[in-house]
Amino acid sequence: MSAHIAFRTSVVALAMHALLFRSAPAVAAIVGGGGSSRVDCLAAFDAPVNAPAAKPRGIRCADGDPACDLDGTVNGVCNFRVSVCANSTFNPAACALNGVRLITVEHAADNGDPKFDPEFQALQTRIDSDIGPYPNNDSDACTTATNFFVAIKGPLKNDKCKRNKKQIRLIAESTLAAGQGTILVDKDKLDLVCDPPVGGCDPGALFTGTYDRVQRQIFNQSCAVSGCHDSNSFVDAGNLLLEASAFPANLINRTPTNADANGLGWKRITQVDPNTGDPDTSFLMHKLTGDLPGSGLGARMPRGRPKLDATLINVMKLWIEAGAPDTGWVSGTD
């Protein structure tokens, strides 16, 4: 006998309790996450939702706003905490289902998925540990809260920056018993939006130094991603690991694995002395600009994606010219 799988979605929001966060407008609430209200209780989010104001179903926060950014400091990143609940009783009149056979977080597997995010993976682990093993028939079975960090976009030219968004997407499946012979599916979304800080996007305020900016704004966002230069995949990406905790030994004056770059005498980053470097013989620089004479030097980076913003390429250039220091500000990059 095969089970019918029904896909239904809905929107419901109801404030439940206000414990976790310091002040209004963020109020911890259970939100269904969208879809048909009849199945919306299979999985729900427990989060300090505040947007849109009339009917909150997501979190929106300016970087550093102590009312909603948990780190409370202007650092280019908003910190949110989100729990997931199974068999929620937040709206029993509409949905009283009790019985979940699986909850899956999208983009939670580091398998080359360009949308993979370790924070989705951490949420999946929480769900597996706190709501699993399945089936779970307990009412309001909730996870411990998981941290999410949303970095603003930028700053780029003239220190301009834009809001950025992370969207958590869940798929919850009911047990056959709960669905009375049918597997019901509840698809949920939660938007986490980080707005630029009220005072603007001065890099000197957002980052601790030039390397911190290079790491967080360039490497973390465009290079150390699934299938590329992260721990799981870097061996197949020129053996170049660009996660924060690997710097600087793998970059400074290291010979690239690319034979042609090696033949040209280039290094990954060429440091002449601690205060001087040479972008022209730094393979990393060529990879970002696309100045790659001959096919043997491989593709421009980030591979298959738009060229890095000119402002960031210039930050990289100035940083390398200054010897790629791991602390302090290089003039022109702050």
Partner 1 sequence: MAITRRQFLKGGGLVTAGTLFGPGFFGHGLLRSAQAALEDNDRYFVVIFLNGGNDGLNTVVPVDNVAGLRAAYDAARSSINITPTQLANSLIGLDPISGTQLGIHPGFNVPNGYFDNGAGAGGLKSLYDLGKVAVVQGCGYPEYSLSHEEARIIWQTGVPLGAPAGTGWVGRYLAYEYAGNEIPAVNIDDSIVGEFRQTGTSVLAVRDLENFRFPFDDAYSDDDAAKAAAFAALNQSAVSGAQPAALFIGNTGLATYDAAAAFQSLSGLYEGDRAAQSQLYSDVGRSLAYDLRQVASVIYGVEQGVPNVSARFFQVSNGGYDTHSDQGGADPNGQHFSLHAELGGALKVFYDDLASMPGNVANRVCVLVWSEFSRRIVQNQNGTDHGSQGPMFVIGGGVQGGVYGRHPNIEASALDDEGNTTYTQDANSFRSTDFRDVYGTILKHWVNLPPATVQTLLPLDATAEALADPAHYWRSANFDLGFLP
Residues that bind partner 1 (CB under 8 A): 1, 110, 118-119, 121-122, 125-126, 128-130, 132-133, 144-147, 149, 230-235, 241, 243-247, 249-250, 254
Listed residue (33, 75, 54) closest to 203, CA to CA: 75
Separation between Cα atoms, residue 192 and residue 331, nearest integer Å: 34
**Residue closer to partner 1, measured from CB, 25 or 132:** 132
**Residue closer to partner 1, measured from CB, 113 or 243:** 243
**Residue closer to partner 1, measured from CB, 232 or 275:** 232
Q: Cβ of residue 33: shortest distance to partner 1, in angstroms?
A: 20
Pick left, alpha or beta for residue 162 (phi over 0 → left; psi -120 to 50 → alpha; otherwise beta): beta
3-state helix, strand, coil in the chain (%, to 5): 20, 25, 55
**Residue closer to partner 1, measured from CB, 12 or 251:** 251
**Residue closer to partner 1, measured from CB, 40 or 45:** 45
Give the SS3 label for residue 247. coil
Q: Cβ of residue 234: shortest distance to partner 1, in angstroms?
A: 7
Q: Cβ of residue 137: shortest distance to partner 1, in angstroms?
A: 13
Residues 6+ apart with CB under 8 A from 249: none
Sequence-distant contacts of 287-294: CB under 8 A, at least 24 apart: 288/313, 288/316, 289/313, 294/260
Residues 6+ apart with CB under 8 A from 297: 258, 260, 261, 283, 286
Listed residue (226, 228, 224) closest to 114, CA to CA: 226
**Residue closer to partner 1, measured from CB, 131 or 292:** 131
Q: Cβ of residue 123: shortest distance to partner 1, in angstroms?
A: 8
Separation between Cα atoms, residue 62 and residue 111, nearest integer Å: 32
Separation between Cα atoms, residue 2 and residue 17, nearest integer Å: 41
Q: Cβ of residue 294: shortest distance to partner 1, in angstroms?
A: 27
**Residue closer to partner 1, measured from CB, 104 or 125:** 125
Q: Cβ of residue 257: shortest distance to partner 1, in angstroms?
A: 12
Q: Cβ of residue 1: shortest distance to partner 1, in angstroms?
A: 7
Q: Cβ of residue 238: shortest distance to partner 1, in angstroms?
A: 13
Burial class (CB in 10 A: 0-12, 13-18, 19+), 242: buried
Residues 6+ apart with CB under 8 A from 1: none
**Residue closer to partner 1, measured from CB, 9 or 233:** 233
Six token digits for residue 216 = 């967080």
Separation between Cα atoms, residue 222 and residue 234, nearest integer Å: 14
